[in-house]
Amino acid sequence: MKIFKQLFVTLLVLVALCCSMLVTLGMRPSSTPMALIMKVVPEVVKKTANTDWTSAVASDQLQGGDQVKTAKKALAILKFMDKSIVRVHEQSQVILNADASGPRFTKVVDLNGGVFGFDIKKQTDERYRFTSPTSVASIRGTTGKFTDHSQNDTLVVVEGLVNLKNNVSNKDIDVAAGFIGFSGRDGLLSSRHATPEELADASNAAIGNGGKELNIEMRDSKGNKKNLKIKIKQ
């Protein structure tokens, strides 16, 4: 009787493990790529697990581990399957990865120097995470610009809310719409109101739409709502 009970428990554990593996696998996009290259200006290179650096063209698929690099005055627009967009600006390098270890599937964009703008659609089951050697930014749905400088990272948030964590000090702060966050190699982490020029620049980097108007809701130190309208010109 005891053997049957042990067998039953073992079977139950195995079934549970199989189910959890299936669920985990089911959550991951099996053969669907992570992103597409939508546009390259004028020349962009990419590197995959099987190929070295080669010229990228629009419609190229990007899987986890693939890298994209832009030269001077170049631009690459990446579109994820949920229509989120990352615009990799000149002299930048990003690596795409997927992380299924947490409670939610996370798409990771690792910035290895340079700058990219982002327009991330609101997420329900998934997350985005932007990383650099210094910082980690956790995203759900937001628009802004992420820059990896030599001394610090900057994160300008045009819409939404981003949690910015410094890897050196292990501290984190929330960067709200209309703010710019700084994450330094020395572990310092701070934020302040972004200037209209910084916000317009970030919007342009993220969206690139000519003539689009953004209406940013901000709060002052007393918690009062203030609206800032920004017209973006391409």
Partner 1 sequence: MHIATRGRALSVIALLGVVVYATAQISDKISKVTTGPVRQGQPVTIEAELINPAIVQRVEVAYRPFGEQTYKRMEMSIVGNIASATIPPDQMIPPFLEYYLLIYPQNSTTPETYPLENADGHPLRVTMEEAQPVSKYITVLSPEEQGSVTPDDLFISFTVRKDTIVDSAATQILVDGANVTKFAVMSGDLFILRPENASLTLSSGDHSVQVEIYSRKNELIERYQWNFKITGGIEAPVMVQKGWQYGGSLQLETRNEKIDTLPGQPYNRATLLGNASNGNFHARGKIYVTNEEQSHRQPQDRFSLTAEIPELRLGLGDLYPVYPDLIMNGLRVRGVSGELSLGSFDLAVSSGQLLRSIEGNLIKTFPHDSLTEEQGRDPGASYRLYRPGDSLWAKYTDGTYARNLFVIRPKFGTPSSFLGFTFLKSKDDPQSIFFGDKPEENLVAGSDFFISIANHTVELNGQAAMSATNKDITNGTFTDQQIDSTFTGSDSASDRRQARNVKKWLSHFITVNENLIPLTAKYFPTLAYEGGISINAADNALRFNYLRHGSSFESFGQTFVRPDVVGFNISDRQRLVRNSLLLSLGYERLNDNTAHTKAATTTSTTANIGISYFPQSELPSATVAYLFASDDNGIPTADSTFSVDDHTNRVVVQLNKDFFYYGRHQTMLSVSTSVRDDLTKRNLDTKNTSISLGVTSNYQIPLQTVVNLLVSLNTLPTTDLAGHTTSMSRNYTTLFLRGLYRLDGDRIQLSATVSPTLGDVGRTLLDGGAQYYFTKRISAVADLSLYLNKDRDNDLIGSLIVRMDL
Residue 230 in contact with partner 1, rule: CB under 8 A: yes
Q: What residues from 13 to 32 belong to the interface with partner 1 (CB under 8 A)?
A: 29-32
As a whole number of angstroms, the distance between CA 29 and CA 157 comes to 28
Residues 6 or more apart whose Cβ sits within 8 Å of residue 9: none
Q: What residues from 56 to 85 belong to the interface with partner 1 (CB under 8 A)?
A: 58-59, 61, 73, 75, 77, 79, 81-83
Give, rounded to a whole angstrom, the gap between the first and last alpha carbons of the chain: 75
Considering the complex, state which of residue 157 and residue 189 has its C-beta at the smaller distance from partner 1.
Answer: 157
Q: What residues from 127 to 156 belong to the interface with partner 1 (CB under 8 A)?
A: none
Residue 98 in contact with partner 1, rule: CB under 8 A: no
Cα 165 to chain centroid distance, Å, stands at 14
CB-count exposure of residue 205 (10 Å: 0-12, 13-18, 19+): buried
Residue 102 CB, shortest distance to partner 1, in Å, is 22
Residue 196 in contact with partner 1, rule: CB under 8 A: yes
Q: What is the DSSP letter of 205?
A: H
Supply φ then ψ for residue 163, to 5 degrees.
-95, 120
Among candidates 130, 35, 146, which has minimal Cα distance to 83?
Answer: 35
Residue 220 in contact with partner 1, rule: CB under 8 A: no
Considering the complex, state which of residue 185 and residue 212 has its C-beta at the smaller distance from partner 1.
Answer: 212
* Residues of this chain that bind partner 1 (CB under 8 A): 29-33, 36, 38-39, 41-42, 58-59, 61, 73, 75, 77, 79, 81-83, 87, 89-90, 196-197, 200-201, 204-205, 208, 215, 225-231, 233-234
